[in-house]
Protein backbone atom coordinates (compact mmCIF):
# COMPACT_ATOMS: atom_id res chain seq x y z
CA UNK A 1 0.00 0.00 0.00
CA UNK A 2 2.90 2.34 0.68
CA UNK A 3 3.62 2.22 -3.07
CA UNK A 4 0.30 3.93 -3.69
CA UNK A 5 1.64 7.04 -1.90
CA UNK A 6 3.01 8.99 -4.80
CA UNK A 7 4.48 12.36 -5.61
CA UNK A 8 2.49 14.18 -8.28
CA UNK A 9 3.92 16.97 -10.39
CA UNK A 10 1.17 19.39 -11.34
CA UNK A 11 0.93 21.25 -14.64
CA UNK A 12 2.44 24.73 -14.52
CA UNK A 13 1.12 27.48 -16.70
CA UNK A 14 3.58 30.15 -15.72
CA UNK A 15 4.61 32.97 -17.96
CA UNK A 16 6.49 36.25 -17.58
CA UNK A 17 3.84 37.34 -15.04
CA UNK A 18 4.62 34.48 -12.67
CA UNK A 19 3.58 30.92 -11.90
CA UNK A 20 0.19 29.29 -12.03
CA UNK A 21 -0.28 25.68 -10.92
CA UNK A 22 -3.40 23.73 -11.80
CA UNK A 23 -4.95 20.95 -9.74
CA UNK A 24 -8.19 19.58 -11.17
CA UNK A 25 -10.18 16.96 -9.29
CA UNK A 26 -10.47 13.63 -11.08
CA UNK A 27 -7.87 14.80 -13.58
CA UNK A 28 -4.59 15.82 -11.98
CA UNK A 29 -5.50 13.93 -8.81
CA UNK A 30 -7.45 10.65 -8.63
CA UNK A 31 -10.52 11.91 -6.73
CA UNK A 32 -13.13 14.63 -6.69
CA UNK A 33 -12.21 17.36 -4.18
CA UNK A 34 -14.85 17.71 -1.45
CA UNK A 35 -12.82 19.56 1.17
CA UNK A 36 -9.86 21.92 1.33
CA UNK A 37 -7.95 22.91 4.44
CA UNK A 38 -4.50 24.29 5.08
CA UNK A 39 -2.01 24.23 7.88
CA UNK A 40 0.42 27.02 8.72
CA UNK A 41 2.15 28.44 11.78
CA UNK A 42 3.34 25.03 12.98
CA UNK A 43 6.73 25.06 14.69
CA UNK A 44 9.64 22.98 13.44
CA UNK A 45 9.33 20.54 16.35
CA UNK A 46 5.59 19.92 15.89
CA UNK A 47 4.33 16.65 14.45
CA UNK A 48 0.84 16.94 12.95
CA UNK A 49 -1.42 14.33 11.44
CA UNK A 50 -0.64 11.17 13.43
CA UNK A 51 -3.72 9.51 12.06
CA UNK A 52 -5.15 7.35 9.31
CA UNK A 53 -8.56 7.59 7.65
CA UNK A 54 -11.00 4.84 6.82
CA UNK A 55 -12.41 6.66 3.79
CA UNK A 56 -10.56 9.88 2.96
CA UNK A 57 -7.88 10.17 0.35
CA UNK A 58 -5.69 13.27 0.42
CA UNK A 59 -3.31 15.28 -1.68
CA UNK A 60 -0.90 17.51 0.27
CA UNK A 61 0.90 20.44 -1.35
CA UNK A 62 3.29 22.88 0.30
CA UNK A 63 2.11 25.93 -1.61
CA UNK A 64 4.67 27.94 0.39
CA UNK A 65 7.66 26.76 2.39
CA UNK A 66 8.53 23.13 3.04
CA UNK A 67 7.61 20.18 5.21
CA UNK A 68 8.06 16.43 5.33
CA UNK A 69 5.44 13.69 5.33
CA UNK A 70 6.12 10.25 6.76
CA UNK A 71 3.72 7.58 5.56
CA UNK A 72 3.33 4.19 7.18
CA UNK A 73 1.11 1.21 6.31
CA UNK A 74 1.97 -0.81 9.40
CA UNK A 75 4.74 -2.64 7.55
CA UNK A 76 6.65 -0.09 5.50
CA UNK A 77 7.46 3.56 5.95
CA UNK A 78 8.48 6.24 3.51
CA UNK A 79 9.39 9.91 3.84
CA UNK A 80 8.44 12.52 1.27
CA UNK A 81 9.87 16.04 1.03
CA UNK A 82 7.33 18.64 0.04
CA UNK A 83 9.66 21.37 -1.13
CA UNK A 84 8.15 22.86 -4.28
CA UNK A 85 4.75 24.52 -4.83
CA UNK A 86 3.93 22.40 -7.90
CA UNK A 87 4.58 19.05 -6.18
CA UNK A 88 1.98 17.14 -4.20
CA UNK A 89 1.79 13.81 -2.48
CA UNK A 90 -1.20 11.52 -2.98
CA UNK A 91 -2.23 9.53 0.11
CA UNK A 92 -4.71 6.67 -0.25
CA UNK A 93 -7.19 5.73 2.47
CA UNK A 94 -5.86 3.78 5.47
CA UNK A 95 -2.32 5.12 5.37
CA UNK A 96 -0.89 6.47 8.63
CA UNK A 97 0.62 9.93 8.15
CA UNK A 98 2.83 12.30 10.11
CA UNK A 99 3.57 15.81 8.88
CA UNK A 100 6.60 17.50 10.43
CA UNK A 101 9.69 19.65 9.92
CA UNK A 102 7.61 22.66 8.89
CA UNK A 103 9.55 25.69 7.71
CA UNK A 104 8.53 29.03 9.25
CA UNK A 105 6.80 30.01 6.02
CA UNK A 106 5.14 26.62 5.45
CA UNK A 107 1.58 26.64 4.15
CA UNK A 108 0.49 23.04 3.67
CA UNK A 109 -2.59 22.78 1.47
CA UNK A 110 -4.64 19.61 1.94
CA UNK A 111 -7.19 18.42 -0.60
CA UNK A 112 -9.55 15.71 0.61
CA UNK A 113 -11.89 13.30 -1.13
CA UNK A 114 -14.47 13.41 1.72
CA UNK A 115 -16.17 15.92 3.97
CA UNK A 116 -14.91 16.01 7.55
CA UNK A 117 -16.14 13.18 9.73
CA UNK A 118 -14.29 12.65 13.01
CA UNK A 119 -15.50 9.03 13.10
CA UNK A 120 -13.46 8.04 10.08
CA UNK A 121 -10.18 9.11 11.73
CA UNK A 122 -8.02 6.46 13.41
CA UNK A 123 -5.92 8.41 15.91
CA UNK A 124 -4.41 5.62 17.98
CA UNK A 125 -1.43 3.84 16.42
CA UNK A 126 -1.98 0.54 18.26
CA UNK A 127 -5.57 0.50 16.98
CA UNK A 128 -4.28 1.25 13.51
CA UNK A 129 -1.92 -1.72 13.63
CA UNK A 130 -4.80 -3.94 14.75
CA UNK A 131 -6.92 -2.74 11.85
CA UNK A 132 -4.05 -3.45 9.48
CA UNK A 133 -3.76 -6.94 10.93
CA UNK A 134 -0.36 -6.36 12.52
CA UNK A 135 -1.30 -7.11 16.11
P1 LIG B 1 -6.35 17.59 13.15
O2 LIG B 1 -6.99 16.43 12.45
O3 LIG B 1 -5.73 17.34 14.48
O4 LIG B 1 -5.29 18.28 12.18
P5 LIG B 1 -3.97 17.62 11.54
O6 LIG B 1 -4.18 16.17 11.48
O7 LIG B 1 -3.93 18.21 10.19
O8 LIG B 1 -2.83 18.02 12.39
O9 LIG B 1 -7.45 18.71 13.27
C10 LIG B 1 -7.38 19.76 14.22
C11 LIG B 1 -8.80 20.10 14.68
O12 LIG B 1 -9.58 20.61 13.58
C13 LIG B 1 -9.54 18.90 15.22
O14 LIG B 1 -10.30 19.32 16.34
C15 LIG B 1 -10.49 18.50 14.12
C16 LIG B 1 -10.73 19.80 13.39
N17 LIG B 1 -10.96 19.64 11.93
C18 LIG B 1 -12.22 19.90 11.39
O19 LIG B 1 -13.18 20.25 12.10
N20 LIG B 1 -12.38 19.77 10.04
C21 LIG B 1 -11.35 19.39 9.21
O22 LIG B 1 -11.55 19.27 7.99
C23 LIG B 1 -10.06 19.11 9.79
C24 LIG B 1 -8.91 18.67 8.96
C25 LIG B 1 -9.92 19.26 11.17
* Residue nearest (by alpha carbon) to ligand 1 atom 3: 49
- CA 66, chain centre distance (Å): 13
How remote is the CA of residue 71 from the centroid of ligand 1, in Å?
18
Known catalytic residue at 51: yes
Look up residue 69 and give its DSSP letter: E
Torsion sign, CA atoms 7, 122, 102, 105: positive
How remote is the CA of residue 118 from the centroid of ligand 1, in Å?
8
Name the pTM for this structure.
Answer: 0.96
* Residue nearest (by alpha carbon) to ligand 1 atom 1: 49
Which is the catalytic residue, given 19, 51, 86, 115?
51
- The CATH number given to 2-131 is 2.60.120.10
pLDDT digit string, tens, across residues 94-131: 999 999 999 999 999 999 999 999 999 999 999 999 99
Using CA atoms, how far apart are residues 103 and 3, in angstroms rounded to an integer?
26
Contact criterion met (CB below 8 Å) for 21 and 59: no
Amino acid sequence: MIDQCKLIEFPQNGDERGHLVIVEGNQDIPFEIKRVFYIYGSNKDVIRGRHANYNSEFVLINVAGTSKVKVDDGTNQKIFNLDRPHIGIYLPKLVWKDMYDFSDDSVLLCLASEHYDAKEYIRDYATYLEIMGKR
